[in-house]
Structure 1
């Protein structure tokens, strides 16, 4: 092998990025491909002839900063039918095992308290009325499984029965019989905004992640974005974009300094009248952000926006262009 060939290989090995031995080859290739710029890309000029005085302007993309502003889930997700039936089965199994211990541990046989307990058990059939009429000592006590869709398996039904049972116990033991005791119900999982279909409200789809989507006056829906200014970092551009698009009446938190996704829109190359460079389209790099309080306000926006919505992942697919959604869908949480 020639000396010149060895020298070329040595230079290539020095220029090749170095990775830890624990990083697999696939990850090394991925890391090598995803070198995001943090400032606006300027058209580069090169000269094919060193003696030439007119440089050659290379084609370039317009670099944008985008913000994926989200409101995380507020409550736990809805249970699947199998999960509802399973939790109820575990509850009944626990009651069937704990019922004999509870009775004879706290109340001695033949005492007034024991007789009072027997009377209450006969009236209520079970110490937990949230699962309906169920007697753990009956001949068919083994048959404690529910059919799919039974109302006793619904958490809302169980909560209502528990509250009613607590109210009846409080009223039976209350010294003041002139006033009926009322126990506050938990807030419903379905809000007024859900019932009205108000997609501008943050008080909807409480078990899902919502994302801020804005609409231009031309009718295009997308995440807030704007072109990065010269000398501006990606995070600075994202913070400015969010402020100029959705106003100052929001308390937000920018999660990091680096993008977690990008969108590329290619167009037919056309020359810029000022620089002479060919514009190939735009590349938008998205930063993740969270809303802590407040609401979007487009009244004084600087990006020609007409409307906004708070949408889940599935709802976003109905508003944005299919090509746009195909490149952003993996950035969005399924829940």
Structure 2
């Protein structure tokens, strides 16, 4: 019994000794990493933001050289020193660009554009086709016999030579064909470039034919009035305004069928959109709105369409202009004018003039590099 107890104690002591030795070897080997599993510290990603802070010192994170070099401790060395990774060092560099923001302020078209030759010909063809396919006009259903409206309608039909519609030309079809015993063929097609098409679809002449129907041709006594005695209704304003006739680019009532953009003349004599440097705590759209107020005043009701730039360009800067600055990045925000007008009397940006221009006029007025950066954000109509 005593022999078995002493044998058990001996086995227990031998097991503890073996366990301690193996743990020491494991602990010693774990302190020395294998060169096959040693990795370099990945450089931290740096977010590049377009704000005023970017024009200040821009930090750039670079990995430490000590983290990329392998440890001097060889595998299996009894040394207990471990390979440690040093924290990344922030290296600051001076800014190499300036950020600016501007507003592309536009006035939307006020009237529809003039139709193209194809559109006018197609419109006239559809009108003529509709005239032939619709049911005949029944005068008795609309006018009482021997009344002023009935007499006025008779006079209108005489002026139109029997054609009901006022804008399709003279219709020679029908039973008898003007009393010649047979209907005369009517050409429905309206060819591009045909002088008759241009006459019938001319906006000014078409408007006059429509408005002339409202003129009173018969007096209250049922007598026909002479041309000079007819009671005429007020005509609408023409499509071409006084500003178009004088070519006044500062007025908003010019080019009514086109989109106009506000440009200002800077101190150096160049034309461009109202633009300013981005402030320390401003976003791009806030700077654009501030630039508009500082350039042309606050006598306008405007709407900033969005906060995302719709155009930009980068202009290299000569070293003599600004130290440590190699380029200027300009971003543009879209805006609309609802009412008011520009006023440069008390501007703080040194603006000397302003204009409201179309896309073609902008191409001729702006510098080439400037127009190339914004042309895709400017509508043609």
1:85 matched to 2:121? yes
Q: Which moved more, 1:175-184 or 1:90-99?
A: 175-184
1:126 matched to 2:126? no
User: 1:63–1:227: 8 Å Cα contact kept in structure 2?
Assistant: yes
Counterpart in the other structure of 1:29: none
Distance in structure 2 (CA, Å) of the matches to 1:269 and 1:175:
89
Match runs of 1:240-259 below 5 Å: 240-259=290-309
Note closer, same or farther for the CA distance 1:126–1:326 as it changes in structure 2 (3 Å cut): same
Counterpart in the other structure of 2:350: 304
Q: Secondary structure at the match of 1:201?
A: coil
Distance in structure 2 (CA, Å) of the matches to 1:258 and 1:229:
17
Match runs of 1:225-240 below 5 Å: 225-240=275-290
Distance in structure 1 (CA, Å) of the matches to 2:232 and 2:256:
27
1:43 matched to 2:57? yes
Once the two structures are superposed, residues 153-209 of structure 1 have per-residue CA deviations (whole angstroms, 9 ceiling, x without a partner) of 212211111222321xx3326469897421122221111111111111111111111
Once the two structures are superposed, residues 221-274 of structure 1 have per-residue CA deviations (whole angstroms, 9 ceiling, x without a partner) of 11110001111122221111110001111110111122111121112446966x
Q: Secondary structure at the match of 2:280?
A: coil
Question: Which residue among 214, 219, 244 is the counterpart of 1:166?
Answer: 214
* Shift in Å, 1:127: 1.8
Note closer, same or farther for the CA distance 1:66–1:118 as it changes in structure 2 (3 Å cut): closer
Counterpart in the other structure of 1:142: 186
Once the two structures are superposed, residues 266-301 of structure 1 have per-residue CA deviations (whole angstroms, 9 ceiling, x without a partner) of 12446966xxxx211211111111000011111111
Distance in structure 1 (CA, Å) of the matches to 2:190 and 2:240:
25
User: 1:215–1:308: 8 Å Cα contact kept in structure 2?
Assistant: yes
Counterpart in the other structure of 1:26: none
Counterpart in the other structure of 1:213: 263
* Shift in Å, 1:56: 4.9
Question: Which residue among 128, 147, 153 is the counterpart of 2:201?
Answer: 153
Counterpart in the other structure of 1:19: none
Distance in structure 1 (CA, Å) of the matches to 2:170 and 2:63:
92
Note closer, same or farther for the CA distance 1:302–1:81 as it changes in structure 2 (3 Å cut): same
Query: How many residues are paired up?
Result: 302
Counterpart in the other structure of 1:328: 374
Distance in structure 2 (CA, Å) of the matches to 1:142 and 1:299:
64
User: 2:101–2:331: 8 Å Cα contact kept in structure 1?
Assistant: yes
Distance in structure 2 (CA, Å) of the matches to 1:226 and 1:55:
30
Once the two structures are superposed, residues 40-70 of structure 1 have per-residue CA deviations (whole angstroms, 9 ceiling, x without a partner) of 52232559898xx996523421111111000
Distance in structure 1 (CA, Å) of the matches to 2:156 and 2:367:
63
Q: Secondary structure at the match of 1:96?
A: helix
* Shift in Å, 1:217: 2.7
User: 1:130–1:157: 8 Å Cα contact kept in structure 2?
Assistant: no
Distance in structure 2 (CA, Å) of the matches to 1:173 and 1:144:
37
- Where does the alignment leave 5 or more consecutive residues of structure 2 unmatched? 1-35, 65-88, 178-182
User: 2:52–2:281: 8 Å Cα contact kept in structure 1?
Assistant: yes
Structure holding more strand per residue: 1
**Greater relative contact order (Cα 8 A, min sep 6): structure 1 or 2?**
1
RMSD: 3.7
Counterpart in the other structure of 1:62: 98
Question: Which residue among 282, 298, 301 is the counterpart of 2:328?
Answer: 282
Larger radius of gyration: 2
Superposition TM-score, scaled by structure 1 size: 0.77
Counterpart in the other structure of 2:363: 317
User: 2:172–2:186: 8 Å Cα contact kept in structure 1?
Assistant: no
Distance in structure 1 (CA, Å) of the matches to 2:209 and 2:288:
50
Superposition TM-score, scaled by structure 2 size: 0.69
* Shift in Å, 1:85: 1.3
User: 1:209–1:312: 8 Å Cα contact kept in structure 2?
Assistant: yes
* Shift in Å, 1:152: 1.4
